[in-house]
Structure formats: structure tokens, C-alpha cells
Amino acid sequence: MEQAEAHNGSGAGDASSAGAAGARPPTTPEGMALAYGSLVLMALLPIFFGALRSVSCAKGKNASDMPETITSRDAARFPIVASCTLLGLYLFFKIFSQEYINLLLSMYFFVLGILALSHTISPVMNKFFPVNFPNKQYQLLFTQGSGESKEEIVNYEFDTKDLVCLAMSSIVGVWYLLRKHWIANNLFGLAFSLNGVELLHLNNVSTGCILLGGLFVYDVFWVFGTNVMVTVAKSFEAPIKLVFPQDLLEKGLEADNFAMLGLGDIVIPGIFIALLLRFDISLKRNTHTYFYTSFVAYIFGLGLTIFIMHIFKHAQPALLYLVPACIGFPLLVALVKGEVAEMFSYEENSAPKEVPPGDAKEGKKEK
């Protein structure tokens, strides 16, 4: 999870600082400002809208829309699993042909990207369908065993509108697979990020602190301690990062000198910010103080990352700056308001869901 300059450059400052000065002209201040401004904006969008969607996603009837809850045990193990995965990818790229590995990864992310993008655009697209649109319901059901031991493996409900969204997403998928264009890469990256923030739920603030703290150490070690993360980021041709060309003003859409931001630097702080939004709502004060505080903290941390990167001309572990900001700012507000205990006692799904009176009566009748 680092911020770097180019797919084929180092993680530091300008592409010229990676030893590529002879290969391409130096980045202009305008192009650099446009690139990093766009990266910041693209990072904020999935966090903001993903957090809003996370509030209601647990109410969905579809199994695919149910959130995955991260416990403190999961949070403690995550940096270890992430380190093993990162090191494994590094060894794979060192031992096997990079071309074949990226071909397999492209197919894998082609399928995942289509599903993620379809899920992302579906709520928006549903507003554009005419009232008389012939919408039919479908169900994809896979079970295991028989009789009383029958167990559901997959239970996915969808309709014709979802199929239309899937077809539209497939066009982007084919574009990405054939061209690896940076716009297609970003569409998939934004979809992955939004889905991650929406569907990955921390069960409490303590778990969030454990997760962010562990990944803080993970990020610092693998960026500053070794060249593993930068090497994998440069070799890994998959939509796991948002990119924006710094030479867009000179070369247009065919620009190739990219600044980039890993999706982990969006999703990891994003799920913590989404948790604080749900905590705000649980307080029932019609204010989102902790959400907006952490959101501003994220902007501050990301801006500081970019600033430090250009001062030292080296790839920066963004979580080094994002984690203290995203935890520290809301905690400081809680200290001032005297709500630290209330914040840390908040438990996701601790309160039973309220059932509307009408539904309760219907339930009794069914009994």
C-alpha cells in the first residue's frame, strides 16, 4: 500500500527521479497537481458513498449484499496474512514469468471487476429504467447435501435490471482486458473500493484500531524495510490501484506517466470511517460529527503523504500518515465531548433490529 509514480518507475517523486529522465520529459507542476488532485478525489468518492451504503446494506435480503463482519481476531491476523500474500506474490514474480502470472490475474480480476462494477452501478441505473420495463426475478441457488443436512452454498437473487448492469460492466471488462487502459482500471478500482467499504464491517472501534495499527506496521515495514511492495506494485498488472497520468495535459488519454494510490489505502481507512458513521447514527443526534471528522482526517493524511513523498523523493506508506490521522482526530473529538467510553463500547449489531408494527402483526398471523 504505497503511493508511487509510475507502473514502470520507482515509488518516489517524479518519474525522472526513478532514473527515467532520459526516457521521458520531466513532469510539469500543472500535470502533477492535476494527477494528485484527481487521485485524492477518486479516493474520497468510494469512502463517502461506500460509508453511506454500508448503513443500509445489512437490511438487504440478497446474500451478496450482506456485510462481512471483521472481528478483533480477524483484525489481528490480517497483517500476517497480508504479509504472506505479498511475499508469495513477490516470489512468484521472481521465479515465474511475469507475463503468464499477469495473464491469470487479468482473467481473475476481469470476472471480479465485472461483478463489482455491476453491484456498484445497479442502484444508480435502477432510477433510469422506465416504469413499464419488463423486469423478471431470478434466483441462483447452489446447495450441498440433501434432506435435513442440506446446506446453502450460494443463494443469489437478481432481476433483469441486474443483467443489464452486468452487460454494461462486461463492456468495461473487455476494454480493460484488451487495452489495460487506465480509465478502465480506475472504474474497476473504484468499484472494488466502494464494495469493500460498503460490505466489510468492523464490529467495534477497538477492532478498527487493531486492524489499522497492525496494517500501519505492515505498510511501514514492507515499504521502508524492503523493496518487496514497490516491486510487486510495479509488476502486478491488475486493478488494485488507482492511477492518473501526470502527462495528461501533454499526451491526452494516451498518457503513460502515472501517479498511483493502492486500493488498500482507501478501503482500510474507509471501513473505519464507515464504522464511525454508523456510530454517529446510533447516537440518534442527527449529526455526523465523527464521520466528518474522520473524513477530514483522511484528506489531511493523504495530503500529507503526497507532500512528504515529494520532499523525500521516495515511495511513502500512506497508512503511516492515514492511520494516526483517522484514529487520532475522532478520538480527540471524543475526548473533548467526553464520549470516549461510549465510542469504544459501541458494538455493531448490538441492538436488535426494530420490526415495523405491520410486519410484526403479519409475523404473528403466519404463526
- Which residue numbers are catalytic? 219, 265
What angle, 0 to 180 degrees and rounded to 10, lies between the N-to-C axes of helices 264-283 and 289-312? 160
Interstrand relation of 151-159 and 137-144 (parallel, antiparallel or unpaired): antiparallel
- Distance between CA 310 and CA 312 in Å, rounded? 6
DSSP conformation letters of 281-299: HHHTSS--HHHHHHHHHHH
Residues forming a β-bridge with 151: 144
Residues forming a β-bridge with 347: 204
Answer yes or no: are the C-beta atoms of 250 and 31 closer than 8 Å: yes
Q: How many helices (H) and strands (E) does the chain have?
A: 13, 8
Answer yes or no: are the C-beta atoms of 285 and 28 closer than 8 Å: no
Instruction: Give Cα 124 to chain centroid, integer Å.
Output: 19
Amino acid residing at 121: I
DSSP conformation letters of 264-282: HHHHHHHHHHHHHHHHHHH
DSSP classification of residue 26: P
- Distance between CA 108 and CA 104 in Å, rounded? 6
Cβ atoms within 10 Å, residue 173: 23
The b-or-e profile of 293-306 (16+ CB within 10 A means b, else e) is: bbbebbeebbebbb
By the 10 Å C-beta count (0-12 exposed, 13-18 middle, 19+ buried), 216 is classed as: buried
Helix, coil or strand: residue 98: helix
Amino acid residing at 17: S
Interstrand relation of 258-262 and 2-4 (parallel, antiparallel or unpaired): antiparallel
